[in-house]
A and B are shown apart, each in its own frame.
Chain A
Amino acid sequence: MNYLNRERRHALAAEYVLGTLRGKARDRYKKLLMEHEAVARTTWYWERQLNVLTSPLPAQSPSDEVWKRIAARTFELQDTQTKTDIEKRSSAKPGWAMWGGLAATFILAALLLWTRLPTPEDITPSAVAVFNNESQAPLWLVEISDEQLVVKATRRVEEQRSKDYELWIVPDDNSAPVSLGVIPQSGVWQRPVHPLITQNNVKALAVSLEQKGGSPSGQPTQVLFTATLEST
């Protein structure tokens, strides 16, 4: 079935957002959402349209306990993570030896990057990739955890006002690159890890230059940088 056919894509996306796509069909759709940028964009279209329908609902009050439980789950988690992070940083320096094959300057740059940039969710990455420019200065740092892929842009990323940068997986079976989405020109971006990454079927990652909003064809237009994922 061609999920990239526009009519089919809209039909599925609308029922996914509506909630009538159920069971295994819903699971399959979630996989498509990860694999195809066009599917994700169509889903967002329906979210934007249908969620307006909730506007007239009069607000309701949950119990005060809800906020207490949310605060306990989020802030305590953050406090614990910050503490762990500090402990990790103070004891982890010898661990960088595993990056032994890389040049010393690169290690220093990566370390600086690691400590300077904020993390949306402090995670211990299982793999990392660094996109460098022609001068081998880091542009984006990609971290993979069990569930999340986090992309951090450095200040060296060249600002493109009328273009976007898009991240791709180059599968190891030489099949067509798979889009992971448009990545930020500054700050941090994260999304669930793609199944190709968890299954270790990645030859490389690539960043392409695209028109605003991402590749119109579903394939990279102009590949600018590539990087390999290294286990930590």
Chain B
Amino acid sequence: MEQEELLPLLYRIGRGEQQAFASLYEKTHGHLYAVLLKMLRQRELAEEALQDAFVQIWRHADSYHRGRGTVLTWMISIARYRALDIIRYKKVRPEQSLEDDISIGDNTQINDEKTKLYHCIEELDNDQRQAISLAYFHGLSHEQVKHHLGSPLGTVKSWIRRGLNNLMRCLSL
């Protein structure tokens, strides 16, 4: 999904054009819903979050600026924060059958811009990568990551903290 395609739509949405909003939904809802479904695991909750996210996008289209990343990055942030709110207030708990799809390094569809991030992710220790991935994709708290991996809380916190620190160091090289 290209920024060149989404930015003009967002600009028109800022002017209140409903058709542009429908086009933006058409082009992005499948991806946003995939992100939300992974975090919330229940279709009903993911649909609620998707709905809330798009209402916010409609209302705050004017507040987007390049500092937020691409339009899609900005939209993903809005959707993820809404999902985290739902997890918090509805006390959503991860299912025991949570898959270990922590292979954020397994990506064959990346372009040059994303290569560095994936390279840096691959540089992380397995434990760090796994803990970060469970938190990011599945919305797990430190406590839930601890439960899922069967490791002490302090160790899990340390994996995440050091993993993010290593990631930042690698990205800034």
Contact = CB atoms under 8 A, between A and B. Distances in A.
Interface stretch (A10-18, A166-174, A220-228): A10-18
B9 interface: no
B164 A14 contact: yes
Contact of B59 (A18, A61, A120): A120
Main secondary structure of the interface of B (DSSP, over half): helix
Interface string A64-93: 011101110111001000000000000000
Contacts of A47: 68-69, 73-74, 76-77
A54 B117 contact: no
Interface in B30-75: 30-31, 33-35, 37-38, 43, 46-47, 50-51, 54-55, 58-63, 65, 67-69, 72-74
B107 interface: yes
Given A19-B135, A70-B55, A121-B59, A57 B68 contact: no
A19 B50 contact: no
B77 to A, nearest CB: 5
Given A53-B117, A59-B34, A62-B43, A213 B141 contact: no
B90 interface: no
Contacts of B114: 52, 55
Nearest to A40: B67
A61 B142 CA distance: 30
Interface in B94-146: 104, 106-110, 114, 117, 121, 132-133, 135-137, 139-142, 145
Contacts of B22: 67, 71
B34 A66 contact: no
A19 B84 contact: yes
Interface of A: 10-11, 14-15, 17-20, 22-23, 26, 41, 44, 47-63, 65-67, 69-71, 73-75, 78, 118, 120-121, 182, 187-191, 213
Interface of B: 14-16, 18, 21-22, 25, 29-31, 33-35, 37-38, 43, 46-47, 50-51, 54-55, 58-63, 65, 67-69, 72-74, 76-77, 80, 84, 88, 104, 106-110, 114, 117, 121, 132-133, 135-137, 139-142, 145, 160-161, 164-165, 167-168, 171
